[in-house]
């Protein structure tokens, strides 16, 4: 797929931090918390990749990844966005990015995984 026009699910409670991905040519569906993200994932959208914040209200990023891994699409690549001190279960994710990071790094990871 070469990354261009990949359909991404971005789960981030920090108002549109990753929304600039659509400007790079990705189709982006955003969720404000983990529970909303899991609902979107299970409601028929065919996402090529999921980007999730780890430390969020309502549902932790590790829990989001567990739901995806137990779904009918368990091989969907998942990228975690973590901050210092976040309890990240790295085994659940295809890639973990530590904040702060440049947008171009996230773009490279998405291109690599899609």
Q: Where are the domains of the chain?
A: 7-113
Cut 0.75: pTM above it: yes
Of 78, 28, 72, 13, nearest to 50 by C-alpha is 78
- Tokens encoding 104: 């171009």
Handedness of CA 112, 93, 14, 73 (dihedral sign): positive
Select from 3.40.50.2300, 3.90.1720.10, 3.10.20.30, 3.40.50.150 the CATH code of 7-113: 3.40.50.2300
Spacing of C-alpha 15 from chain mean position? 15
Q: What is the pLDDT along the chain (114 residues), one digit of tens a residue?
A: 444 578 999 998 775 556 678 888 889 999 999 999 999 999 978 999 999 999 988 899 999 999 999 999 999 999 999 998 899 999 999 999 998 888 889 999 999 999
């Amino acid at each position: 797929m070469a990354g261009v026009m990949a359909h991404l699910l971005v789960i981030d409670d920090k108002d549109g931090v990753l929304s600039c991905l659509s400007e790079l040519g990705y189709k982006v569906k955003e969720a404000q918390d983990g529970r909303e993200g899991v609902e979107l994932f299970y409601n028929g959208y065919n996402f090529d990749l999921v980007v999730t914040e780890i430390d969020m209200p309502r549902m932790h990023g590790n829990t989001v990844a567990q739901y995806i891994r137990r779904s009918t699409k368990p091989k969907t690549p998942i990228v975690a966005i973590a901050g210092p001190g976040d309890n990240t279960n790295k085994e659940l994710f295809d890639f973990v990015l530590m904040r702060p990071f440049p947008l171009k790094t996230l773009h490279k990871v998405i291109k690599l995984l899609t």
